[in-house]
Amino acid sequence: MKFQEFYQNEFDGFEEYGLNLIAPKSGTVIEEAMSYSLTAGGKRLRPMLLLAVIKAYGKDLVQGYPAAAALEYIHTYSLIHDDLPAMDNDDLRRGKPTSHIKYSESTAILAGDALLTKAFELITIGNLSAEKKVTLIRELAICSGYEGMIGGQQADIDGENNSLSIDELEAIHARKTGELLRFSMFAGGIIADADKESLTLLEDVARKIGVAYQIRDDLLDVVGDAEELGKATGADNKLGKSTYPALLGLDPAFEKLSSELEKAKENVSKISDKSPSFDEEILLTFIDSLSITNDR
Amino acid sequence: MKFQEFYQNEFDGFEEYGLNLIAPKSGTVIEEAMSYSLTAGGKRLRPMLLLAVIKAYGKDLVQGYPAAAALEYIHTYSLIHDDLPAMDNDDLRRGKPTSHIKYSESTAILAGDALLTKAFELITIGNLSAEKKVTLIRELAICSGYEGMIGGQQADIDGENNSLSIDELEAIHARKTGELLRFSMFAGGIIADADKESLTLLEDVARKIGVAYQIRDDLLDVVGDAEELGKATGADNKLGKSTYPALLGLDPAFEKLSSELEKAKENVSKISDKSPSFDEEILLTFIDSLSITNDR
């Protein structure tokens, strides 16, 4: 099954589950603010990738819903806090006012805190074994904590006005965005009872997808259009941030994107070699969808 | 055993455990900021209460260390975020510069996020069964989330310039500070294998301690001295916040404090009646320590 078909088939089911979880009950502003940011039109990339791994193993997707929703909650809280005046100071996100603009700065801080907290509660629900839940909670905390996403965000802020080497840039992105992607594929593997070696391969695929995703984002920022990104192109350049095209040059950046995607696909095939029933097409077609042509 | 003796005997052991957990490894500013706030001289009241319940049941305290540390991490993150300019805008906490003054606003936001995240990771470590860990994680998330502490903080901000009824005031405090206290005694009970009825009694004791604690704090704010509180007395009045003495009058507030403490002690004795080996003295002496004399 192609990823695009899987996504079309399964998006609504997961979305309905997620929206029911967060439907405001008491009507407080904090619940409203949580719901506002969760329903701001995200593509649910990370949770759908988690579910895609479960699908590739032929297991029941619903088992993965709580962890997938938790992942989206963590991603959403990180966007709310990143947008704050003290951080990136963004007024718009996906064309809508950011949380602190729509509500207030204090509500945005608290709504972020509440989404982060709720994420861990979500993993405790559902039918997985207690052992699996504990494994997922530990890994989610590590991936999204100071050794992962939060540490990456801090390093990103610190590096904003410095020129970074390509290795420094990669280390920041690996934490800031790569670790949550790693969790999505690791969690899918855990839930689907993947063996240890396949788990390691899945994590490696996720890392390469993460690097590819960042290069793609940087490239679209230069060659793409504002509509596709939902923000002004060239924004990172204006802030003096280091990007792949700025550091490598445009053609080498395109080449690096292709090579990361190729390596990711090779590792997917290795998983498939170990488990013949593994439906590699779903991951291979996802990886292919990240490719962009250098048609300058 | 008296609570004071227990505290003296056990404080250093827990403190050493907690400090080793957070000793900065990579030397990043985010780890330094986490450590700065954790070591700012807190009394570790909540974790010591959690451990006191385990002690009263005669069980091994070390089993409770991870959950007790998690509780302190949650408490500490909530102080960092509450002190932010967009929230209470405090420059000093326990006589030291608050996190956003010492570092920066963005670092304070991220350090808070990181402590919150790490709290859930902490509960996954140690020798408890996976089932107990999942129970503790779920309950900690609920107590500290939008239905608990965070919701209380939001309601507190919303009510800052309104005059509240005594019921509204109590509902806010029950969430803002009461829910974490409830977790401390609930978690101690879960770890010590308390039966269901005793767990309910422990939670009820915690709720009454929470109310008593708030009245005590409000009273000391009026009759106490600045040194004992580490902040300027009368601060809540200046902000126009509702307090127990303001709403009830001073003498009735003293009476309510005594009556909450009495009811808490009655429930402790009920636990003791059910489990004769339960060392009630440790909790009774703690409750007594919250009493203040109306010697005006």
Cβ B103 vs Cβ B37: under 8 Å: no
Share of chain B above pLDDT 70, in %: 92
| Interatomic CA distance for residues B123 and A223, integer angstroms | 46
Cβ-based burial of B47 (10 A; exposed 0-12, middle 13-18, buried ≥19): buried
Distance of residue A57 Cα from the nearest chain B Cα, in angstroms: 25
Q: What is the pLDDT of residue B137?
A: 98
Residue A275, SS3?
Answer: coil
Give A30's contacts in chain B (Cβ within 8 Å): 146, 150-151, 154
Side chain identity at B229, as an amino acid letter? L
Cβ B61 vs Cβ B10: under 8 Å: yes
For residue B296, is it within any domain? no
Give the C-alpha distances (Å, rounded to integers) separating B132 from A117, A118, A270, B114, B135: 18, 18, 37, 24, 5
| Interatomic CA distance for residues B36 and B98, integer angstroms | 9
Q: Do A116 and B112 touch (CB under 8 A)?
A: no
Q: Which residues contact B27 (CB under 8 A, 6 or more apart)?
A: none
Write the pLDDT tens digit of every residue in B196-251.
Answer: 999 999 999 999 999 999 999 999 988 875 445 445 455 555 445 688 998 999 99
Nearest to A230 by CA among A79, A24, A110: A79
Give B76's contacts in chain A (Cβ within 8 Å): none
Give B158's contacts in chain A (Cβ within 8 Å): 29
Position A226 confidence tier, pLDDT thresholds 50, 70, 90: very low
For residue A36, is it within any domain? yes
Residue B153 lies in domain: 3-289
Joined together, the tokens standing for residue A103 give 């509500």
Side chain identity at B185, as an amino acid letter? M
Instruction: Check pLDDT > 50 for residue A239.
Output: no
Instruction: Check pLDDT > 80 for residue A173.
Output: yes
For residue B15, is it within any domain? yes
Q: Using CB atoms, which residue from A106, A107, A117 is nearest to B116?
A: A117
User: How many C-beta neighbours within 10 Å does residue A228 have?
Assistant: 9
Instruction: Check pLDDT > 80 for residue B26.
Output: no
Residue A129, SS3?
Answer: coil
- The lowest-confidence range among A137-141, A177-181, A228-232 is A228-232
Write the pLDDT tens digit of every residue in A198-209.
Answer: 999 999 999 999
User: How many C-beta neighbours within 10 Å does residue B194 have?
Assistant: 25
The mean per-residue pLDDT over the stretch A241-268 comes to 93
For residue A161, is it within any domain? yes
Q: What is the pLDDT of residue B25?
A: 66
| Interatomic CA distance for residues A97 and B242, integer angstroms | 33
Cβ A278 vs Cβ A271: under 8 Å: yes
Give B138's contacts in chain A (Cβ within 8 Å): 121, 124-125
- The lowest-confidence range among B36-45, B142-151, B253-262 is B36-45
Write the pLDDT tens digit of every residue in B76-107.
Answer: 999 999 999 999 999 999 899 999 999 999 99
For residue B295, is it within any domain? no
Q: What is the pLDDT of residue A225?
A: 54
Distance of residue A292 Cα from the nearest chain B Cα, in angstroms: 34
Q: How far apart are the first and last CA of chain A?
A: 32
Position A237 confidence tier, pLDDT thresholds 50, 70, 90: low
DSSP assignment string, chain B: --HHHHHHHHHHHHHHHHHHHH--SS--HHHHHHHHHHTS----HHHHHHHHHHHHTT--GGGGHHHHHHHHHHHHHHHHHHTSTTTT--SEETTEE-HHHHS-HHHHHHHHHHHHHHHHHHHHSSSS-HHHHHHHHHHHHHHHSTTTHHHHHHHHHHTTTSPPPHHHHHHHHIIIIIHHHHHHHHHHHHHTT--HHHHHHHHHHHHHHHHHHHHHHHHHHHHS-HHHHTS-TTHHHHTT---HHHHH-HHHHHHHHHHHHHHHHHHHHHHHHH-TT--THHHHHHHHHT------
Q: Do B81 and A109 touch (CB under 8 A)?
A: yes
Cβ A123 vs Cβ A170: under 8 Å: no
What angle do helix axes B149-158 and A105-124 make, rounded to 10 degrees? 160
Position A293 confidence tier, pLDDT thresholds 50, 70, 90: confident
Share of chain A above pLDDT 90, in %: 76
Instruction: Check pLDDT > 90 for residue A259.
Output: yes
Cβ B206 vs Cβ B186: under 8 Å: yes
Cβ-based burial of B138 (10 A; exposed 0-12, middle 13-18, buried ≥19): middle
Residue A96, SS3?
Answer: strand
Q: What is the pLDDT of residue B232?
A: 47
Joined together, the tokens standing for residue A43 give 């593509």
Instruction: Check pLDDT > 90 for residue B63.
Output: yes
Bridge partners, residue B92, by sequence? B97
Residue of B nearest to A100 (CA): B86
For residue A295, is it within any domain? no
Q: Do B116 and A118 touch (CB under 8 A)?
A: no
User: How many C-beta neighbours within 10 Å does residue A193 have?
Assistant: 11
Joined together, the tokens standing for residue A252 give 């080498």
Compute the mean pLDDT over every residue in chain A, rounded to the nearest whole number: 91
For residue A296, is it within any domain? no
The mean per-residue pLDDT over the stretch B159-167 comes to 81
Residue of A nearest to B134 (CA): A124
Element (H, E) at A156: helix A149-158
Distance of residue B103 Cα from the nearest chain A Cα, in angstroms: 12
Q: Using CB atoms, which residue from A109, A133, A153 is nearest to B86?
A: A109
The mean per-residue pLDDT over the stretch A163-169 comes to 87
The CATH number of residue A215's host domain is 1.10.600.10
Side chain identity at A249, as an amino acid letter? G
What does DSSP say about strands B96-97 and B92-93: parallel, antiparallel, or unpaired?
A: antiparallel
Write the pLDDT tens digit of every residue in A24-35.
Answer: 666 789 999 999
Position A240 confidence tier, pLDDT thresholds 50, 70, 90: low
For residue B294, is it within any domain? no
Cβ B84 vs Cβ B110: under 8 Å: no
Q: Do A141 and B120 touch (CB under 8 A)?
A: yes
The mean per-residue pLDDT over the stretch B19-44 comes to 84
Cβ B99 vs Cβ B169: under 8 Å: no
Count of pairs with CB atoms under 8 A, one residue in A, one in B? 139
Which of B113, B116, B139, B147 is the best substitution to test chain A (most A C-beta atoms within 10 A)?
A: B113
Position A18 confidence tier, pLDDT thresholds 50, 70, 90: confident
Q: How many domains does chain A have?
A: 1
Cβ-based burial of B200 (10 A; exposed 0-12, middle 13-18, buried ≥19): middle
The mean per-residue pLDDT over the stretch B39-59 comes to 94
Q: Do A154 and B34 touch (CB under 8 A)?
A: no
Q: Do A150 and B118 touch (CB under 8 A)?
A: no
Side chain identity at A108, as an amino acid letter? A
Give B114's contacts in chain A (Cβ within 8 Å): 145-146, 150-151
Distance of residue B287 Cα from the nearest chain A Cα, in angstroms: 30
Nearest to B222 by CA among B193, B259, B257: B257
Residue of A nearest to B85 (CA): A106
Instruction: Check pLDDT > 90 for residue B56.
Output: yes
Bridge partners, residue A97, by sequence? A92
| Interatomic CA distance for residues B48 and B69, integer angstroms | 10
Position A296 confidence tier, pLDDT thresholds 50, 70, 90: low
The mean per-residue pLDDT over the stretch B47-72 comes to 97
Q: Provide the 8-state DSSP code for A163.
A: P
The mean per-residue pLDDT over the stretch B258-276 comes to 96
Q: Do B137 and A124 touch (CB under 8 A)?
A: yes
| Interatomic CA distance for residues A84 and A110, integer angstroms | 12
Q: What is the pLDDT of residue A227?
A: 46
The mean per-residue pLDDT over the stretch B11-39 comes to 85
Compute the mean pLDDT over every residue in chain B, rounded to the nearest whole number: 91
| Interatomic CA distance for residues A214 and B70, integer angstroms | 34
Instruction: Check pLDDT > 50 for residue A3.
Output: yes
Rg of chain B over Cα atoms, rounded to whole angstroms, equals 19
